[in-house]
Amino acid sequence: MKRLQGLAMVAVLLAACGRGGAGQEEGHDSERASVIVPQQCKWLNAPALLPSGARVAVLEGDPTKPGPFVMRLRMPDGYRIPPHTHPQPERITVISGTFNLGMGDRFDAAKGQAMPAGSFGTWPAGMKHFVWAKGETVIQLHGTGPWSLTYVNPDDDPRSKKN
């Protein structure tokens, strides 16, 4: 149920962005290039399946549906995502800041690896990992949807928090 709620949140995000991805925009010809410069990114609050404070911009595709997608995640300094997994391989490129990655089912910054701007990382579906940002950090996720995450500890899921 929480996965469906998360996918619904991403769908709302996509609608708010006004982007169905390259090739789906009005008047878009699949024979032409699609170019998005940084000033054209439409940043919105990240879906509720992520801890609050992050922003996302969908650049191509629909992360809620099967098929390729590209989106960016902008995280404030100190932002953390507790241990979690994804149903598909994850591929990220660090655009700015420092993205830190640790593997395992417990958050332990001492076991992390810093990925400065320009770094690329990929890990398989189902791998337990946790992340945090040092400085404002922007990553680009490129993968095959539907994109979601499952927290190792269900109590870490922000959707389970009571206001």
pTM for this structure? 0.81
Tens-place pLDDT, residues 96-121: 999 999 999 999 999 999 999 999 99
User: Which residues span the domain enclosing 78?
Assistant: 2-23+35-158
Tens-place pLDDT, residues 61-93: 999 899 999 999 999 999 999 999 999 999 999
Query: By the 8 A CB rule, do 58 and 145 touch?
Result: no
Q: Strands 44-45 and 129-145: what pairing?
A: unpaired
Tens-place pLDDT, residues 142-152: 999 999 999 99
For residue 131, the model assigns a pLDDT of 98
More confident residue, 24 or 63: 63
For residue 10, the model assigns a pLDDT of 47
Q: What CATH code is carried by the domain that includes residue 148?
A: 2.60.120.10
Look at the chain and report how many structural domains it folds into: 1
Domain membership of residue 30 (yes or no) is no
Phi/psi of residue 62, nearest 5 degrees: -135, 105
Domain membership of residue 163 (yes or no) is no
Q: How buried is residue 130: exposed, middle or buried, by Cβ count under 10 Å (0-12/13-18/19+)? A: buried
